A and B are shown apart, each in its own frame.
Chain A
Amino acid sequence: MANGATGIGARVKRKEDKRFITGKGKYTDDVRMENQAYAAFVRSPHAHANVKSIDKSAALAMEGVVDVLDGHQLTGDGIGNIICGWAVASKDGSPMNMGAWSALATQKVRYVGDAVAVVIADTQALARIAAEAVEVEYEELPAVVKADKALTKSAPEIHDNAPGNLIYNWEIGDAAKADAGLAAAKHITEMEITNNRVSPNPMEPRSAVATYDEAEEHYTLYTTSQNPHVARLVLSAFYNVAPEHKLRVIAPDVGGGFGAKIYIYPEEITCLWASMKTNRSVKWTSDRSEAFITDAHGRDHISTAKMGFDENGKITGFKVDTIANLGAYMSLFSSSVPTYLYATLLSGQYDIQNLHANVRAVYTNTVPVDAYRGAGRPEACYLIERMMETAAREMGMKPAELRARNFVREFPHETPVIMTYDSGDFDANLAQAEEAADVAGFPARQAEAAKRGKLRGLGYSCYIEACGIAPSAAVGGLGAGVGLWESAEVRVNPVGTIEILTGSHSHGQGHETTFAQIVAERFDLPLDNVAIVHGDTDKVQFGMGTYGSRSGAVGMSAIVKAMDKVEAKVRKIAAHQLEASEDDIVIEGGEVKVAGTDKALGWHEIGLAAYTAHNLPPEMEPGLKESAFYDPSNFTFPAGCYICEVEVDPDTGTTEVVQFTASDDFGTIINPMIVEGQVHGGLAQGIGQAMMEQVIYDDDGQLITGSYMDYTMPRAADLPFYSVHHASTVCPGNPLGMKGCGEAGAIGSPPAVINAITDAIGNNNLSMPATPQNVWNALQAVTASQAAE
């Protein structure tokens, strides 16, 4: 059914943008309830301390303060501890050491920002002032902030049940084979690689509005969530806030998430509970400073890696040892990020037979760390791709050549780290990127830059990632506490318009447009006749939400399954009314026709027929509404090649990204404009991590980068005009052949940037972020070593 203007592959402008760009979006902070009060949290100024006493009297005495609540009251009311929903066992079989995390700390605080009490007041300003009047007596304890230091003997212990701050000591692959492969190598490249800690910084800060209906004993929570159903499940099943049927969670328009809005935080739990305690609607909206100390951070790995090569540049063995900093508490999916989302991708695009990775996850006195755009895969990609580029330089090979000699070319391909790559054409992506980046012309550009006193460099990254994490039974076997399917419901109204209810959640991805496109294409209807409903547990039965680039490959597949059922019923109704065979029915141009005849019904007439039920086939139920749950058979594997070209000013260390070329394989693309937008955004975050962003704590656990005065976000002027291309193979695992595009940019770009800068300055020893100071220091090291020679 051709629907070129709005169907699959059409660059349809986003339906949701009218309300967003005219300021008419409805975000959580826009919700105003009657009798609404405001919450402000009393937070620990210390990274590690015992809580000796809390004196609320001064705050309670203020006019307009409704109540001041603490953790003893919270736990006294049976509110449960916050949990990590993915059980990762150590290699000796022992379970992970999960420390208790109460939404309001009672005995001990473990990071700067840990909440100990909440003030509920008539205005936000008053709540914040009153929060400062709550006097908390602390007994300070020594703190530790770095992952490697947390494992040393002298480090303070953060949780009683995690000796040595170790959460788990996990491994994957075959250590003996990796050792043997390294022993047989002709050349070994060895590197220490850190992946810098970053703060997610969605444009909209987190917010919650909780309302308790005393008569119905029912709660409603508006919140900035990427997965409202999961939030309801967890709030109900684990935190005992309310039973599921007495709790409605609504995630309205949400302004970006990047992972940080997957988790259920102390603030939402506390607002719900406080609404019951005070019998007021309770609103809390984070400000930017609060976001830096409460939104889960990302990355923060310290790794050492060894990669061996034979005389032809073929990888003989690869061994990785990683320490992952999970912060002060285990956030919802924190355990899976440095294990099943990281080490399982360490084979990259390469045929590596002998691979082993060991990962130790540790507690520190810092904000909890969890999935951030890419989640584990950027850490894997950065490690492999820095290794490959450095190895090529050490062996005097072209970086592209070394990669090509190791590419996987036959699919399905089973890696030694449990992944089965289903499709891809890595040569095609490399060739497309090299041509678009005019790699052949690079030496001339480099020479021209040198005349201007600039150092020009070129860097590659050939990434592969795993999206649409699945199937549910497999991830359950790996410790996941939830299934990772998706649901959809297709409702054809009596007038023929269609509502799609989806468990996916859009917080910037453009689902209202792309999801409508596949429906408009399937039934050959105007795009405006299709509406997408999401983000409300009272409207959509259940769903797993949006993260891990899953809404296309998993969410849209569920819609396709439900549409299959609708189409089957439409055919039956039409065949019955038009007295034809179901097989001869075609759906086209707003009509349901009998092929080769002039017999036809309008699409809207089918809808009406289904609901009037005056003339349906015998035994057919009235109505035209179908639902489906889709559980994928495998991950999907987006891949691609990124080439970055930079110019470094040796006087200041300032780096300009002068050209960035992307060739991605996302499988089927529904809306190229939206996909390009996803790539642009991902690249901005990846380049941000590579060159600017870094969360820094001092040794006492005080956050140095607690505002935009010190935490550098990429700005438009820092970024180039991207050159974005696609060389796609169809994903065999789902009906639309989609792979996912949401995280690729953030996963693939950091090593390309650093490889380009290290090429420019002639020093492989450079860590992210490549700030002007860090690049200048690396250049001084080159000068010093040249002087010494």
Chain B
Amino acid sequence: MYPTKYTKAASIDDAVKALGADEEAKILSGGQTLIATMKQHLAAPTGLVDVRSIAGMVGTSLDGDTLVIGAATTHAEVAGSAEVQKHTPALACLASGIGDPAVRHAGTIGGSVANNDPAADYPAALLALGATVVTNQREIGADDFFDGLFGTALEEGEIITAVKFPKAQAAAYVKFRQPASLFALVGVFVAKGSDGIRVTVTGAGDEGVFRSEALEAALTGDWSEAAAKGADVSAEGLMSDIHGTAAYRANLIKVMAARAVAAA
């Protein structure tokens, strides 16, 4: 690892100041991707601004029908949260299946969402549930937040402070793990919400997480496993790599969607 300067921010202002002072600095919020890439010399930020100790960034709460998760809340904390389990059990279940125990006790929802890895689990949940990303500057709807591989709507110096989830009538997430990394080769989140049925896919899209129009159309008329399996999911726009061709991923999207419908 190249030398780097670590700063533990006590407040959002602190963090913004530290980021402003060093153009090459990165936000550290668990570091489960960032630290690994730094060790491999693939990233070499001159500064790391740790946001996990900022007051109010950690924890889960209910605000009426809205679930609020602090950005620095770990996956293990989300998985074990009574509020999350009550409000959206599918989300707790998703968090319990991210990475391995070490990752779940260090990685955070804010870090995952800001990184927008094309195989990450949380982006599928945010997009399917119509969540809102809260930053130190504004609120961004999930539909406007994710922007291609590793891309987001975040501006320089903008820090995610929380994610807000509306309540869904039914929701479930099922993923098929890439055999080596155990990341999602294909992960499908299905949700019945106030604005209809949303089906999102992670791990498979050339452009990262996306909503599957074919599955949403198929399930809107007929919320059933058979409808999901019979949906006309195209391989176009899907990734192909050594673990799965686009055609194989297209098949898995249908199969995982069917299993998610059964679990919802």
Q: Are A712's CB and B242's CB within 8 A?
A: no
Total interface residues on B, CB under 8 Å, equals 17
Complex Cα–Cα for A708 and B178 (A): 11
Among B87-95, B157-165, B244-252, the one that faces the other chain is B244-252
Query: Is B243 interfacial (CB 8 A cutoff)?
Result: yes
Q: A653: nearest residue on chain B (CB-CB)?
A: B248
Known: A651-B255, A709-B181. A289 touches B248 (CB 8 A): no
Query: Is A776 interfacial (CB 8 A cutoff)?
Result: yes
Complex Cα–Cα for A692 and B243 (A): 10
Q: How far is the CB of B37 from chain A (nearest CB, A)?
A: 11
Complex Cα–Cα for A713 and B182 (A): 11
Q: Which residues of chain A come closer than 8 Å to B2, judged between CB atoms?
A: 129
Q: Are A777's CB and B248's CB within 8 A?
A: yes
Q: Which residues of chain B come closer than 8 Å to A172, judged between CB atoms?
A: none
Q: A128: nearest residue on chain B (CB-CB)?
A: B41
Q: Which residues of chain A come closer than 8 Å to B242, judged between CB atoms?
A: 696, 704-705, 710
| Interface of A: prevailing SS | loop
Query: Is A773 interfacial (CB 8 A cutoff)?
Result: yes
Q: Which residues of chain A come closer than 8 Å to B180, judged between CB atoms?
A: 692, 705, 708-713
Q: Are B244's CB and A132's CB within 8 A?
A: no
Q: Which residues of chain B come closer than 8 Å to A692, judged between CB atoms?
A: 179-180
Query: Is B150 interfacial (CB 8 A cutoff)?
Result: no
| Interface of B: prevailing SS | loop
Known: A129-B2, A651-B255, A773-B243. A708 touches B248 (CB 8 A): no
Q: How far is the CB of A316 from chain B (nearest CB, A)?
A: 41
Question: Which interface residue of B179, B183, B242, B244 has the most chain A CB atoms within 10 A?
Answer: B179
Query: Is A771 interfacial (CB 8 A cutoff)?
Result: yes
Query: Is B1 interfacial (CB 8 A cutoff)?
Result: yes
Question: Which interface residue of B41, B180, B183, B248 has the most chain A CB atoms within 10 A?
Answer: B180
Query: Is A612 interfacial (CB 8 A cutoff)?
Result: no
Q: How far is the CB of A786 from chain B (nearest CB, A)?
A: 17
Complex Cα–Cα for A651 and B176 (A): 11
Q: How far is the CB of B222 from chain A (nearest CB, A)?
A: 19
User: Which A683-723 residues sit within 8 Å CB-CB of chain B?
Assistant: 692, 696, 704-705, 708-713
Q: Which residues of chain B come closer than 8 Å to A708, judged between CB atoms?
A: 180-181
Known: A712-B179, A773-B244. A132 touches B41 (CB 8 A): yes
User: Which A617-667 residues sit within 8 Å CB-CB of chain B?
Assistant: 651-653
Q: Which residues of chain B come closer than 8 Å to A651, judged between CB atoms?
A: 251, 255
Complex Cα–Cα for A776 and B186 (A): 15
Query: Is A589 interfacial (CB 8 A cutoff)?
Result: no
Complex Cα–Cα for A128 and B3 (A): 12
Q: Are B245's CB and A773's CB within 8 A?
A: yes
User: Which A761-789 residues sit within 8 Å CB-CB of chain B?
Assistant: 771-773, 776-777
Q: Are A771's CB and B255's CB within 8 A?
A: no
Q: Which residues of chain A come closer than 8 Å to B181, judged between CB atoms?
A: 708-710
Complex Cα–Cα for A777 and B2 (A): 44
Q: How far is the CB of B101 from chain A (nearest CB, A)?
A: 14
Q: Which residues of chain B come closer than 8 Å to A772, judged between CB atoms?
A: 176, 179
Q: B119: nearest residue on chain A (CB-CB)?
A: A709
Complex Cα–Cα for A410 and B1 (A): 63
Q: Are A776's CB and B243's CB within 8 A?
A: no
Interchain Cβ contacts under 8 Å between A and B, 21 examples: A128-B41, A289-B40, A651-B251, A651-B255, A652-B251, A652-B252, A653-B248, A692-B179, A696-B242, A709-B181, A710-B181, A710-B242, A712-B180, A713-B180, A771-B179, A771-B243, A772-B176, A772-B179, A773-B243, A776-B251, A777-B248
**Which 5 residue pairs of A and B lie closest in terms of their CB atoms, listed nearest first?**
A712-B180, A709-B181, A712-B179, A651-B255, A773-B248
B residues sitting closer than 8 Å to A (CB atoms) are: 1-2, 40-41, 176, 179-181, 183, 242-245, 248, 251-252, 255
